[in-house]
Chain A
Amino acid sequence: MGHVSTGKSYINEEPGLKSWFTSLDHKRIAILYFVAVMTFFLIGGIMALLLRLELFSPNTAGSVMEHIPNFLRKAGDTPADLYNQVMTYHGAMMVFMVIVPGIPAIFGNFFLPLQIGAKDVAFPRLNLLSWYVFMAGAALAVSTFFFSKIDTGWTFYTPYSIRSGTSVVMMVVAAFIMGMSSILTGLNFIVTVHKLRAPGMTMWRMPLFCWAIYSTAIIQVLATPILAITLLLLAMERTFGVGIFDPKLGGDPVLFQHFFWFYSHPAVYIMILPAMGIISELITTYSKKTIFGYTAIAYSSIGIAAVSFFVWGHHLFVSGQSEVAGIVFSFLTMLVGVPTAIKMFNWLATLYKGSIEFRAPLLYALGFLFLFAIGGMTGVILAVTAVDVHFHDTYFVVAHFHYVMVGGTLMAIMGGLFHWFPKIFGKMHSETGAIMSWVFIFIGFNVTFFPQFILGAKGMPRRYFDYIPEYEQLNKISTVGSWLIATGFIIALITVIKGLTSGAKAPKNPWGSKTLEWHAESPPIMHNFEQDPIVTAGPYEYK
C-alpha cells in the first residue's frame, strides 16, 4: 500500500463537536463510548476509595461518610446508610456502566471492523442509537443519585429491594435501558462478523479478539433479555404488587435470585471473554509469535459462552435451594473451568520460544495471566459446594471477583489501551508512563485484594459497614493498596493526556503486529482502508 498519507483521518475529516454526536463512523462512536465509560469509571473508582477509607478502621471513632457534602445526602441517612448507598453505586456503575460495555463498546466497536477488513459495522445507524440508548440509561441511573439513592447492592435481591424506600424502580429501569443498548450492540457485531468480512477473511482467519467479541455478542443477545424481564418484574412488583417475588403476597424471593443469576452469571463472561480476546492479541504481538492453539482458543470461547448459561445456581448454595440442585450446579461449574484452563496454557505456550518485548501492553497481559490464574483457581474453590458454604458472601468472594473482573478485565482494558493508543489517536504515548502505571496498578491491586482472601477465610462478611476488631490489620493493608491503585490510574491518565497533547506522530505499525488494523493509517481514515484489503493468510503469521 505505497500511497502518500493525506493527513486526513476519522478524527479530522468532519469538523466540529456536533459532527461527533451525529457521526455514524464506528471509530467515532467508539470514542464516544470511551469518554463516557472512563467518566463512569472515575466516579465508580472514587466511590471505591471512599469505601476502603471507611473500612480503614472499625467505626468507633466516627465515619468518613459524615464528610459527604450535604447536597448529596438525604436528611436522616446514617453513616451506615451512606456506606450502603456508595457500595451499591460502586457495584452497579462498575458492572453495568463500565465493565459490561467497556471492551465490546470501545475496542470492539473500533477494531472489529478494522480487524476483519470492513468499512464499518453492519448497521452504523443502530450503532449510534445504541450509544444514545446507553447514555439515556446511564443518565437515568446517575440521576437517582440526586433523588433518593438506592441501597440494595447491585444485585437488587428481593424482598429487600421491594421494601427499601429508595428509587429502586428508576435504577432498575435504567439498567433495563442499558441492557437494551447491550443487545443492540451485540446484534450489530454478530451480523458484522457474518456479513462484512473482507474477501479471504474466513471465520478461521479472524483474529482471536474478533472471536471473543463474537462469542460475547451471542451471550449479550441471549442473556440480556432475561435480565430485562427480571428487572421489569421487580419494577412491577414494587409499583403494582403483582406478588411474584414478595413473600407477603405469596411470591418467592429466591425466584428472583434464580432469574438474576441466570443473566448475571453469563454476564460474568460478557465481562471476561473480550478481555481474553485482547490478551491473545497482546501476547502474539509482543512475543512476535503465532498464537498457540488458535482453534482451541476460539472454540473454548464458544464453549465458555455455552456452558455459562447452566451454572447460575452456584450463587445459591446456601439460599435454601435443594441439595441436588447444589450438586448439579457445582458439577457444571467445574466444566467451565476446563476451557478457561485451556486458554491459560495456550497463552503460556505462545510465550515459549518467542521474542518477547517488555512493553507496557505485554506487562499488562502478563499481569492479567498472573491475576487471572489466582482469580480462576479461587473460582474453583468457590465452586466446591462444601467449601462455598463457608466462603459464600464473605470477603473471599469479593477478592475472587475483583481478581477476575479488575485483575482480568481492567488489566486487559489498560493493556489494550496502550497497545492501540497509536492506532486510535495517531500519537505515541510515553512508554515510561505506561510502565509506571502498570507497576502501581499491579502491585496496588495485589496489596488491596490479596488480604481480602484471608479476611474472607477468617469469616468477614461482605457489604459490612463495620467489623469486629480482629479484622482491622488486614483491612488497613487493603485500604493502603487502594491508594496505590489510584496512583497507578492517575499516572495512566497523565500518560494518556500527555500522549494526546504532545505525543510524536505514530507510524502505521509501531509494534510490528500482523492483524489488519495495523495496515490502516494511524489514525485510520473515515472508511478505514485506502484499498479494500484482500486476505490471504491467518492473523498471526510471524514466520
Chain B
Amino acid sequence: MNWLIVMNKLLLAKSAVAGTFMPVQATEISKQVDNLYGFLVVVSFVSCAILIGGMIYFAVKYKRKTQNDKTAYITHDTRLEVLWSVIPLIVFLLVFAWGWIIYHDMRTMPTNALEIQVTGKQWAWSVDYKNGVKASEVVVPVNRDVKLILASDDVIHSFYVPSFRIKQDAVPGRYTALWFRAEKLGEFHVFCTEYCGTSHSRMLTKLRVVSQADFDKWLTEESDVSGLPLAQRGAKIFQTRACASCHSVDSPVVKVGPSLKARWGTPLNVEDGTTGVFDENYVRESVMLPQQKIAKGFPKPSPMPSFQGQLSEAEMIALIEYIKGLN
C-alpha cells in the first residue's frame, strides 16, 4: 500500500520531469519517448541517491576519529555482489527492451504516408513536394502520416525536430527516411544536428503544421506563382533557394555573405579591383559564377554556390527585380 503511494509519487514526478524539461509534445511518439525518458530519470535519480547518499552517509558516519582507528577487514560479500550486478542488469535490459519497442515504431515507415523530399545543402534545407512546389520550410497537414525522404547535396547533415523527438542524418550518396504524424498545429524548430561547417548553427528552418484544408490551399497557391508580380516572385525564390540564409535584406548585417539591402546602383567593392556598379549583369554574374568577382573581405573560394543551370532565365529576372526593390 505504502509502496503504491510511492509509485504514484514517482509517476507524478516523471510527468513533471517531462513537462518542464522537454520541448512540447507534438506527436504520439514524443509522448512515448518522454514516458520512457521520465522513467529513466527517476531510475537515475534513485540510483544516484543510493550511491551519492550512501557515500555521504558513510563519509560522515565513519569519519576518522583518531589516527589509530581500527577498520573492519571486509574483502568481499558474494551475496551483495551478485545483488548489485543482477539488479542493474535487469533494469538495463528492461529499458533496453522498452526503447526497442518505440525505436521499432520510429523506424517502421507507414504505408500511404504523404511523401516529401528534403535535401540538405550547406547551409539550408530545401523541400520538394510531389507537385513540383519547392520550399525552404516544411509544411505538413495535421494528423496525417508524413514521410520525409532525406538526401544531401554535399556533406552529412541531420534533420532534427525536437518537438517530435525525431532525428535522422541526411547522407550524401544515399537516401534515408523518417516519419511522423503531427498532432498539434503550429510552428516547430528544425535544426541541423550534424556538424557541417561555417553556418551549421544557422541551418535552421521551420516545420509548420496546418489543417488539411490550409495545406491544400498552400500547395495550390505555391504551385501557382505565375500570377504574382515579378518582385514578389523574386522574393519567393530568394527564400526557397536559401539566398536568405546567407544574405540579409532588411539590415546591413553580414551573414555568410554581404547584405543586399540598398546595394542597387552603388559602386562595386570586389577583391580584384574591378570598377563598375551593382547592376543587373553584376547580380547575374554573382549568382551564376560566384567565383568570378569576389566581394571584398570574403573568403576565396567564395562559399556561395553557383546557381548556373539551376535557375531559369525567368527566375533570374524575378530575383533581380526583387534585389532592385531592396533600396
Contact = CB atoms under 8 A, between A and B. Distances in A.
Residues of A in contact with B, size category: 35 or more
A369 B52 contact: yes
Q: Which range contains the number of B residues in contact with the other chain?
A: 35 or more
Contact of B189 (A369, A385, A468): A468
Residue from B41, B81, B102, B202 with most neighbouring chain A CB atoms (10 Å): B81
A467 B92 contact: no
B313 interface: no
Contact of B162 (A373, A454, A458): A458
A164 B81 contact: no
B48 interface: yes
Contacts of A342: 81, 84-85
Q: Which of B72, B107, B169, B195 has the most CB of A within 10 A?
A: B195
Interface string B215-251: 0000000000000000000000000000000000000
A153 interface: yes
A77 B198 CA distance: 9
Nearest to A357: B64
A387 B6 CA distance: 25
A160 B32 CA distance: 34
Interface stretch (A229-237, A317-325, A440-448, A523-531): A317-325
A353 B154 contact: no
B319 interface: no
Contacts of B256: 78
Interface in B7-23: 21-23
A466 B155 contact: no
B100 A159 contact: no
A330 B298 CA distance: 45
Interface string A374-403: 100110110111110110111000000000
Nearest to A363: B59
Contacts of A294: 75-76
A330 B96 contact: yes
Given A160-B195, A294-B76, A355-B69, A380 B64 contact: no
A151 interface: yes
A293 B62 contact: no
Contacts of A319: 169, 171
Given A331-B96, A384-B95, A465-B200, A296 B58 contact: no
Interface stretch (A95-103, A119-127, A283-291): A283-291
Interface in A227-266: 247-248, 251-254
A459 B103 contact: no
B106 interface: yes
Nearest to B32: A386
Contacts of B63: 356, 358
Contact of A292 (B74, B96, B174): B74
Given A253-B172, A373-B47, A458 B40 contact: no
A292 B55 contact: no
A296 B81 contact: yes
A396 B298 CA distance: 35
Interface in B101-118: 101-104, 106-107
A381 B71 contact: no
B167 A392 contact: yes
Interface in A446-462: 454, 457-459, 461-462
A320 B62 CA distance: 52
Contact of B158 (A253, A381, A393, A459): A393
8 contacts: A78-B299, A160-B195, A342-B81, A345-B80, A353-B72, A354-B71, A356-B63, A387-B40
Complex A-B, nearest 9 residue pairs according to Cβ-Cβ distance, in ascending order: A459-B162, A247-B173, A355-B69, A76-B299, A386-B102, A384-B99, A377-B44, A464-B201, A385-B103
Given A384-B36, A393-B167, 4 more contacts: A331-B96, A348-B51, A358-B63, A387-B36
Interface of A: 75-78, 80-81, 84, 151-153, 157, 159-160, 163-165, 247-248, 251-254, 287-290, 292-296, 317-320, 323, 326-327, 330-331, 334-335, 337-338, 341-342, 344-346, 348-349, 351-358, 366, 369-370, 373-374, 377-378, 380-381, 383-387, 389-390, 392-394, 454, 457-459, 461-468, 512, 542-543
